Amino acid sequence: MNKKEIAKEYINHLENGNIKQLSALFNQGGMVDSPLYGIKKADEFYLELNNDTTNSELSLLGIFEDSDLNNLALYFTYKWTLKNNQIVEFDVVDIIEFDNQNKISKLKIIYDTVVARKLVEQL
């Protein structure tokens, strides 16, 4: 798969809560940098996110690729239903760094956490 195909797979697996498939997109040392959950190994991050989530709806707004740096940015809307049935919706930019085998080595999540942080703290 090329980087854009991997990015679309990532969005699909994130929306459906497919933890194993998400983790398989990362290399062995793959890390996620999240404004709510901090910096964690990918499998740990997605397990924790999944434990806090009842439902996710994602709408992809764009994919931006920088082939010189082996990076890609995903821009999407995330409608997140938490375990306590609270719903928060926000725009997200995920910056994905790929290794030479097109595995994700680092994913940095960028979004405004003002509302989401309060709701996650209530879990």
- Summarize pLDDT for 26-49 with one digit per residue, the tens: 999 999 999 999 999 999 999 999
Architecture of the structural domain at 3-121 = Roll (3.10)
Q: Output the pLDDT for position 106.
A: 98
Q: Which long-range contacts (CB under 8 A, 24 or more apart) does 115-121 make?
A: 115/88, 115/90, 116/36, 116/80, 116/88, 116/90, 117/36, 119/82, 119/84, 119/86, 119/88, 120/36, 120/52, 120/82
Q: Output the pLDDT for position 117.
A: 67
Where residue 55 falls among pLDDT bands split at 50, 70, 90? very high
Q: Output the pLDDT for position 67.
A: 73
Whole-number Å distance between alpha carbons of 31 and 62: 23
Q: Output the pLDDT for position 122.
A: 72
The domain segmentation of the chain, as residue ranges, is 3-121
